[in-house]
């Protein structure tokens, strides 16, 4: 399956621009961003703080509508300027997985339930969802924390639960904003490898915002952002390494 899909576009943005505020407080956080991520690809997004990485990621994640420009997921146009072309809530639930910088778990659920709910919302029977949630937590090495409340988990553990939830619905787009910041390098690498596997097995397109220069070797492409503008690092552009 992965082989057939490789090469087709997973995520494509065209002249994506985001302006926050207006008048005196106007901030152009992103200007004419053009990015293409193919199915099976894992790309990195680098850049200094305030350069617009999160703005880009949340736009592509369909939670922060762009001021202008287009977003295509697969071959479907989903955002045309600030106008949604599909039901965003449904699209997010079925197609997109997120891991964000700071912990983003539902506080009144325990670790296992946080993963399970993503699948149940997508219509998976409770029993199957529970089984799969435990499986995913196992892969991320936090199976023994499955029944712990969110507040009982360390930052690294919370991040791994968030990764498990992002992977739960086998998304076609996986977006991660500094997912390894709270993890030690061994775990960080392990998470990156999981991302790779999702890309390969499901033909997902993966974008990871990172500061960690040491892990750049696992990416198929590296984009760099500066003052709201995105450019690819030429050396790293090429066909997906693992397909």
Partner 1 sequence: MNLAIKDIRANLGRFTLTTLGIGMLLMIVMGMAGIYRGLVEDATLLVERIGADLWVVQKDTRGPFAEVSRVPRNLVHRVTTVPGVATAREFVFHTIQRQHLGKPLRISLLGLSWPQDKGEWLPLIAGRPIGQSRFELVADKSLGLTLGEELKLGKDTYTVVGITTGMLSTGGDGMAFTTVWDAQVIQFDAPSEAIRLERAARDQRGQTSEVFLREPALSERMGLPATELAAVPVPALSAVVVRLLPHADSRQVEELIASWGDTSVFTREGQNDLLLQGMVDKARRQLGMFRALLTLIAAIIMALIIYTLTLDKLYSIALLKLIGAPNRVILGLILQQALLLGGLGYLLAYTLGLRLFPYFPRRVVLANEDLIQLAIVVVVISVVSSLLGIVKALRVQPNSVLMG
Q: Which stretches of the chain bind Mg ion, using CB under 5 A? A: 54
* CA-angle at 171, arms to 137 and 10, nearest 5°: 145
CB of 102 to Mg ion, least distance (A): 10
CB closer to ligand ADP, 20 vs 237: 20
Contacts of partner 1 in 76-135 (CB under 8 A)? 89-94, 96, 98, 100-102, 104-109, 113, 116-118, 120-122, 126, 129
Interatomic CA distance for residues 55 and 21, integer angstroms? 14
CB of 35 to Mg ion, least distance (A): 16
Q: Please tell me the count of residues contacting partner 1 according to CB under 8 A.
A: 32
Q: Which of 223, 190, 214 is nearest to 11 (CA)?
A: 223
| Contact mark string toward partner 1, 148..167, x via CB under 8 A | -x---------------x--
Q: Which of 13, 54, 169, 180 binds ligand ADP (CB under 6 A)?
A: 54
Q: Which of 3, 8, 15, 20 binds ligand ADP (CB under 6 A)?
A: 20
CB closer to ligand ADP, 52 vs 203: 52
Per the CB < 8 A criterion, the answer to whether 164 and 113 are in contact is: no
- Beta-carbon count within 10 A of 166 CB: 25
Binding site for partner 1 (CB under 8 A): 54, 58, 63-64, 89-94, 96, 98, 100-102, 104-109, 113, 116-118, 120-122, 126, 129, 149, 165
């Amino acid at each position: 399956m992965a082989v057939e899909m490789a090469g087709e576009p997973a995520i494509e943005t065209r002249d994506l621009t985001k302006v926050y505020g207006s008048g005196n407080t106007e901030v152009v956080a992103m200007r004419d961003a053009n990015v293409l991520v193919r199915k099976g690809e894992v790309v990195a997004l680098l850049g200094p703080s305030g350069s617009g990485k999160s703005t880009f990621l949340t736009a592509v994640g369909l939670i922060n509508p762009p001021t202008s420009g287009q977003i295509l997921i697969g071959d479907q146009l989903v955002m045309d300027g600030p106008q949604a072309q599909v039901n965003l809530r449904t699209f997010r639930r079925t197609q997109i997985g997120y891991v964000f910088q700071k912990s983003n778990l539902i506080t009144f659920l325990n670790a296992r339930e946080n993963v399970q709910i993503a699948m149940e919302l997508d219509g998976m029977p409770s029993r199957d969802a529970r089984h799969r949630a435990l499986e995913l937590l196992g892969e991320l090495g936090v199976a023994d924390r499955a029944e712990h409340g969110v507040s009982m988990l360390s930052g690294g553990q919370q991040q791994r639960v968030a990764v498990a939830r992002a992977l739960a619905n086998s998304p076609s787009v996986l977006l991660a904003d500094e997912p390894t910041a709270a993890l030690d390098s061994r775990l960080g690498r392990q998470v990156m490898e999981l991302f790779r596997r999702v890309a390969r097995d499901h033909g997902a397109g993966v974008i990871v915002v990172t500061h960690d220069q040491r892990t750049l070797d696992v990416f198929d492409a590296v984009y760099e952002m500066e003052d709201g503008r995105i450019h690819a690092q030429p050396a790293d552009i090429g066909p997906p390494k693992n397909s």
